[in-house]
Amino acid sequence: MDLTLDGKVALVTGASKGIGKAIATIYAENGAKVMLSSRKQDALEAAAAEIDGETAVFAAHAGKPEEAAACVAATVERFGGVDILVNNAATNPYMGRAIDIDLPRYDKTFEVNLRGALVWTQEAWRTTMQERGGTVVNIASVGGMTFGGLIGIYDNTKAALIHLTRHLATELGPQVRVNAIAPGLVKTDMARALWEPAGDAIAKMWPLKRLGEPLDIANAALFLASDLSSWITGHVRVVDGGLLVAGTPGGG
């Protein structure tokens, strides 16, 4: 048993940049055939061009069920199945007090971050994983384990995603393992408002004294997709540089 993904097919949402791209890259480098998905075709093609391995791309909005179904079907047609699903796509259209959010932005956040993860998992399960088996990796956040700050609605979706991860693990075993990763503050475009300009100063209060990089999360995703984690399901792997134990706010 090792970390290689030889012979596996992976589908990664939100894969054109940041954490999703890093996960797609490390999966391909370790032998998986990888379908990259996000909303923009040109960004997907640019990302895939930088990856050393067998890849394909399919533009889809993570919050639209019909597009999720089309992407899963395209992955099965291209590569023969789906062994690994990474629900990484997320949105955060609102920063501010949770009490003040308007319902359209509230609904959008839950549509993509929580309902989207369920829909993509349903499609993978019904189309291929129920018979073939596989593993699902949900990208949550340490924000789903804490309170306060300016992204409380986003954090609510991640808390719910953590709960959904554990619940699906009880339903889909033994065919499918379902786990999550809870990143701390990672240097991505999406989290830029949280780490610029003071993020590095905040990180000095953490045990590991630095902000996260997308590769830090991708390494954990590789472990959870590999046979080395074959007896792990319903687990939330925190990758945060010590943020939680330091008691410092700043999930992303």
CB neighbour class for 100 (10 Å; exposed up to 12, middle 13-18, buried from 19): exposed
Q: Is residue 203 within 8 Å of residue 209, measured between CB atoms?
A: yes
Bridge partner list, 59: 38
Tally of CA atoms within 13 A in the half-sphere of 98 that contains its CB: 11
Query: Which residue has tokens 């889909």?
Result: 172
128 vs 36: CA distance, rounded Å: 18
Catalytic residues: 154
CA distance 20 to 40: 14
- 190 by Cβ neighbours in 10 Å (0-12 / 13-18 / 19+) ranks as middle
Neighbour-count burial of 72, counting CB atoms closer than 10 A to its CB (0-12 exposed, 13-18 middle, 19+ buried): buried
Residue 56: C-alpha distances to residues 25, 71, 201, 243 (Å): 12, 11, 39, 36
CA dihedral 12, 18, 23, 24 (to 10 degrees): 60
